[in-house]
Structure 1
Amino acid sequence: MSSNVASQAPSRIVLAALAGLVLTLAACAANPPAAPHAYVDPIGLFPMAAYDQDVDHWIDPSSPGYNTPFLTAAEQRAHWAAYLARYFGTAEHDPSPWNPAFIAHRMYGDGGSDIVDLQLRRIGSYDNAGKVGRGIGYGQNFRPHTARWLDEIERNMNLQQFAQAPGYKPNARAIATDALLVRELPTMDPSFYSYRLAGQGYPFDNLQISSIRPGAPLYVLGHTVDGAWDYVQTPDVQGWVKSSGVGFVDDAFIASWSHRAPDAWGVVIAASTAVRDQSATFRFNATAGTLLPLAHAGTGSSSRQQYAVLVPAREVDGRAVVREAQLSDTALSPAPIAATPRHLAVLMKSLIGRPYGWGNMNFYNDCSSELQSMFAAFGVWLPRHSSSQMTAGDMTDLSQDSPQQRLDYLVRNGKPMRTLIYIGGHVMLYLGNTTRDGRTVPLVYQDIWGLRPADNSRRAVIGGSVIFPLLLTIPEDPDLESLAATRTFQVTVLGMPSGVAPPASEENPAS
């Protein structure tokens, strides 16, 4: 909706509110207070006591396949090449923010008008004028956002800028010098639907898109009027980020950062690790999946206790410079790590039990970013959103099958540790099979907010990453809907990246 229409809304809202207030005060003066309306809290906690979260119980270090890769050497090499191309590639179709061809054709194919249209759609979705019920967006004070709030954000966005310079500019290339939250609009104010609705309210800030790991390449498409925010394209998403965590780069920086051999990279394998440079200056917290260049070629030995890596830092003039830091081998490993159960267990032990973070809120993971973070360590790029992750492998749609048929299919055909399961707005990783009450059932790893009944009236909150069996009935609360009984049920098996043909023969990498 245009700002002209939005700017007319406050007068209507204020008049209606004043009229309602007068009627309320009159009623209170004439009648005794009404009895409080019964309110049923839509949020409860799911009891997890019966579900063992010991990773070694489920991925047994003594099992014969503990060091056997679940991706072949050829598959992993192909994924790693595609990953580096997405971040730093310069071939015509490489979707890197540092690729002039990608920016010119993908970002400015319509002369910038598509960027303006996207901004207008986002603004319109947060306009409360004329909305009722669950469509109204609320702030942190439980009050609906006003038209004034939205108008001020829109003015700061300066939408005209996106169509005024519709073309690639070398000096718009940048790098994330900090961990960054990606927002739909340039504000840290949240936008919640009513907390009285199951699955809404905190922590579901609708303005929160994702996060950016330090060291990720960026292309800056625009700036806010006050200079506090940049609108950027990342290897994954597009949105607004704090400009204080963006450093602009030139050809010399890019050459020192990305022009290196495929084995000259390190990847963070800890959930989060503090990074200080050689002068002991804190630079950022790096989360799992953060990709950083190894400072010295050939130093990626697994026997080392420390790795020297390059880290980006922002100067006072906004330029990025390269610094050096030391990270322990418990926090970082040469990339990519072999895709073995042993290494998956290392990542799971680091991440399991952490709080759920919708859209990476507070730099925690949601379901899709949890899997994205883990598979990044293996050099496998997964799309940011759960539905899109089904395109990463060979997908089978079981949505027309019964819940029992779906579980039977997974038990028979699921490929442990490489099969993703999408159930509509949520994605899980199949680990293998287990026995529950005498029945063989699939076992999954997932970062999940909670379970719900079929009428969607409440949530039994888990609120984090867990290991959980897929059951037809939840014994602790039979009214809760089975995760195998959702309307959508798709599985995809990771293999060769899309568009890459498998080789005639291939060998497995060492563990």
Structure 2
Amino acid sequence: MLKSTLLLIAVILLFSACSYKEVQIEDELNYSQSPKTYINNLQEITLDQNTLSKEFIKKFYSPWDLSSLKYPKDEAMWGETYAKREIFLENHRVAQKEWFKKLTDNSNFNQYNSVLKKAITTKNCDFRVMPTNSNFFYNPSVAGEGYPFDYNQNSRVKINTPVMVSHFSKDKAWAFVQANYVLGWVRVDNLYFVNEKEIEEFKNQELYVIKKEGYQSFDINLVEELKVGTFFPKVEDKFLVATNNGFKKVSLKEETITPFPLKFNSSNIVELLNEFIGEPYGWGGLNNHRDCSSFTQDFFTPFGLYLNRNSKAQTFGHKYLDVSKLNDKEKKEFIVKNGTPFLTLVYLSGHIMLYIGTFNNEPLVMHNMWGVRTWRSLFSQGRKVVGKTVITTLEPGIELESAKNSTILKRVKGIVLLNEKAQK
């Protein structure tokens, strides 16, 4: 009997040790993760959405107006610099010089800007830095490196996005293209090459934009996960979607799509933010998820407010206020005094967040974050992984002894006022 009891206890302890228990940072527990909780922070503000949306549409279609890709060839080739670094592949083995040489040769940049064909994406697709599906990692044993930080992932671009093709890889499997906010290598089977008549038909319809995410089956051979910020021109009671065989008129659920732009008001803000909260972190759009800047970009897209793709680029085009010389207390006070809830971005190197106002006098942000920077020793960093879109203070993880001296607040450099244009 004693032997059986001891065996039972051992089994229970074993399963207890092996069971998964999610450990959250205190901000997730102390602050509601429902955006609706904070919508009363929204201030009465006039946003010229008519003008903003017209500017947005012009930029969205801009690749079809190019006579050539706007980047000099040496800038377009920047990915080749990875050949000079220690890069780890999916198997955690260092990429060899010969491997990079084959990639560089296949890139075929001698043909840069030689094709210049107009096209459109036929699915959500990755824009790669080099023409390969292989991942590029820095040393995976270093905190903040390894998966999901694939440096060959430039961005993920939505279905129905206009692009201009510069040239093809030597193996003809990839096209080097420019979209309105990013350029990179796209698999050729993710593109449909459009003619001028098709362009006119696409551009001359009223644009609608996705506001609720989910998979959509257009027919038995056409399924896509539609993301907030995806555009569809409306033709009568149908919507145009690009396929590999041309444009198809499809039906979309009424609750998933809205005329562009969506009115910037409290109910629509909450509805959109509910689509993002809790979404897993996706570096560069990895696995069709978002990182910090694609969250902010996609949140403002339905409202007609155009943002660039990465965190640093999002500080341009609107009024930027520097707070880097302030201490922590002064930064908080400055953000509360000068920031407009739901229309202000908070920036630090490599990260950007949406300011949503205060709760109990504490400034709060909503952001898609990988984790809290910690220190394992004087010379060794760690990460407390969060890995999703959350609502936090400016000091998430401050309760961790190893994170107190490296909080987000200490690294905040400035705020971006999206309701004010940058002064020229």
Scaled to the shorter chain, the TM-score interval is 0.7 to 0.9
**How far off is 1:333 after superposition?**
1.3
Distance 2:50 2:291 in 1: 27
Give the superposed CA RMSD. 2.3
Question: Do residues 313 (structure 1) and 243 (structure 2) align?
Answer: yes
Cα distance per residue 1:39-93 (max 9 Å; x no partner)? xxxxx9653333421222223xxx5x87x76452xx21121011011022xxxxx
Q: Which residue of 2 aligns with 1:147?
A: 97
Question: 8 Å contact 1:275–1:325 — kept in the other structure?
Answer: no
Match of 1:122 among 74, 79, 99: 79
Question: Do residues 445 (structure 1) and 366 (structure 2) align?
Answer: yes
Match of 1:465 among 389, 395, 404: 389
More displaced stretch, 469-478 vs 241-250: 469-478
Cα distance per residue 1:191-218 (max 9 Å; x no partner)? 1112211100110011111011111100
Over 3 Å counting, the alpha-carbon distance change for 1:409 and 1:339 in structure 2 is same
Match of 2:212 among 244, 266, 270: 270
Cα distance per residue 1:182-238 (max 9 Å; x no partner)? 110001110111221110011001111101111110000011122111100100011
SS at 1:457's partner residue? strand
Distance 1:390 1:82 in 2: 18
Cα distance per residue 1:255-274 (max 9 Å; x no partner)? 110123xxx21111123x33
- 5+ unaligned residues in a row in structure 1: which ranges? 1-43, 89-95, 108-113, 129-135, 300-307, 316-320, 501-511
More displaced stretch, 205-214 vs 476-485: 476-485
Distance 1:57 1:197 in 2: 37
Distance 1:105 1:240 in 2: 13
Over 3 Å counting, the alpha-carbon distance change for 1:161 and 1:473 in structure 2 is closer
Distance 2:69 2:423 in 1: 20
Cα distance per residue 1:451-480 (max 9 Å; x no partner)? 113666111111010011124981244634
Over 3 Å counting, the alpha-carbon distance change for 1:459 and 1:256 in structure 2 is same
Distance 1:50 1:371 in 2: 23
What one-letter code is carried by the residue in structure 2 that aligns with 1:158? Answer: N
**How far off is 1:106 after superposition?**
2.7
What one-letter code is carried by the residue in structure 2 that aligns with 1:188? Answer: N
The 5 A counterparts of 1:212-291 are: 212-260=157-205, 264-271=206-213, 273-277=214-218, 279-291=219-231
Question: 8 Å contact 2:241–2:249 — kept in the other structure?
Answer: yes
Match of 1:58 among 33, 38, 51: 38
**How far off is 1:242 after superposition?**
1.0
Over 3 Å counting, the alpha-carbon distance change for 1:388 and 1:472 in structure 2 is same
- 5+ unaligned residues in a row in structure 2: which ranges? 1-21
Question: 8 Å contact 2:315–2:416 — kept in the other structure?
Answer: yes
Question: 8 Å contact 2:319–2:421 — kept in the other structure?
Answer: no
**How far off is 1:159 after superposition?**
2.1
SS at 2:370's partner residue? strand
Question: 8 Å contact 1:392–1:492 — kept in the other structure?
Answer: no
**How far off is 1:368 after superposition?**
0.3
Question: 8 Å contact 1:367–1:426 — kept in the other structure?
Answer: yes
Distance 1:467 1:205 in 2: 25
The 5 A counterparts of 1:54-453 are: 54-59=34-39, 63=40, 70-72=45-47, 75-88=48-61, 96-100=62-66, 103-104=67-68, 106-107=70-71, 114-115=72-73, 117-118=74-75, 120-128=77-85, 136-162=86-112, 165=114, 169=116, 172-260=117-205, 264-271=206-213, 273-277=214-218, 279-296=219-236, 308-315=238-245, 321-435=246-360, 440-453=361-374
Question: 8 Å contact 2:83–2:97 — kept in the other structure?
Answer: no
Question: 8 Å contact 1:45–1:462 — kept in the other structure?
Answer: no
Question: Do residues 482 (structure 1) and 407 (structure 2) align?
Answer: yes
Distance 2:35 2:388 in 1: 15
What one-letter code is carried by the residue in structure 1 that aligns with 2:65? Answer: N
SS at 2:305's partner residue? coil
SS at 1:408's partner residue? helix
Distance 2:289 2:69 in 1: 33
Over 3 Å counting, the alpha-carbon distance change for 1:105 and 1:287 in structure 2 is closer
More displaced stretch, 279-288 vs 417-426: 279-288
TM-score by length of 2: 0.88
Over 3 Å counting, the alpha-carbon distance change for 1:98 and 1:378 in structure 2 is same
SS at 1:139's partner residue? coil
Distance 2:106 2:347 in 1: 38
Distance 1:472 1:366 in 2: 17
If each structure's strand is expressed as a fraction of its own residues, which one has the higher value?
Answer: 2
What one-letter code is carried by the residue in structure 1 that aligns with 2:286? Answer: M
TM-score by length of 1: 0.73
Distance 2:401 2:29 in 1: 13
